Chains A and B, each alone.
Chain A
Amino acid sequence: KNEVEQSPQNLTAQEGEFITINCSYSVGISALHWLQQHPGGGIVSLFMLSSGKKKHGRLIATINIQEKHSSLHITASHPRDSAVYICAVTGNDMRFGAGTRLTVKP
């Protein structure tokens, strides 16, 4: 079993839909990161969480430390949100989820 599990692996949505991507981890962490990787490969750090909830524009990230689970939500999704979203945890070292490939259709 991977230490960082993401679901779903692939997700296709219609523009405007509310999207949720989940991340569960089994190791102790000091922080959890949500990353966005566009087709060209460039990576953007969306959020770093150690507790609670953060919001940036249409993106919301939550983390439940007791349940070792985090979610990334995208409200009013748009085709430009199409990317791979990666969950990463840092603690003694850094581990990555396999990524969720999101496609938002117009």
Chain B
Amino acid sequence: GAVVSQHPSWVICKSGTSVKIECRSLDFQATTMFWYRQFPKQSLMLMATSNEGSKATYEQGVEKDKFLINHASLTLSTLTVTSAHPEDSSFYICSAGQGAGANVLTFGAGSRLTVL
């Protein structure tokens, strides 16, 4: 079946540094990838939708200059948290969409970011 690899699975960084998270579709092409954030004991929140070769569409309240998304190929999307601060500590998850409307979703395992 479809597999999405997300890397790193966890990362600890100092405040002010930038962190890049990769999301790869391993055995299929994903024209659309989604990035989510999940705070402890809360549900998922969609951050942005990225389409290959075009700018990402960010949800209301998500700073596009802070969360840089690049979807340069059909199998790779990256999320870079720039100038990370402790409040950015969260669980970040990606999914790749297939099919009409990219409705068939395959999720990555998630990346836990801790900013000290």
Query: Which A residues have a C-beta under 8 Å from some C-beta of B?
Result: 30-31, 33, 35, 40-45, 48, 50, 86, 88, 90, 93-99
Contacts and interface: CB of A to CB of B under 8 A. Distances in A.
A98 B109 contact: no
List the 3 closest A-B pairs by CB distance, nearest first.
A43-B107, A41-B110, A31-B103
B44 A88 contact: yes
Contacts of A97: 43
Nearest to A43: B107
A43 B103 contact: no
Interface of B: 34, 38, 42-46, 59, 91, 93, 95, 101, 103-107, 109-110, 112
A93 B43 contact: no
Nearest to B38: A41
Given A41-B91, A41-B109, A41-B110, A96 B45 contact: yes
B109 A96 contact: no
Contacts of A42: 107, 109-110
B101 A90 contact: yes
Contacts of A86: 43-44
A29 to B, nearest CB: 10
A41 B10 CA distance: 11
B8 to A, nearest CB: 13
Contacts of B34: 94
Contacts of A96: 43-46
B103 A45 contact: no
A3 to B, nearest CB: 12
Contact of B101 (A30, A88, A99): A30
A33 B105 contact: yes
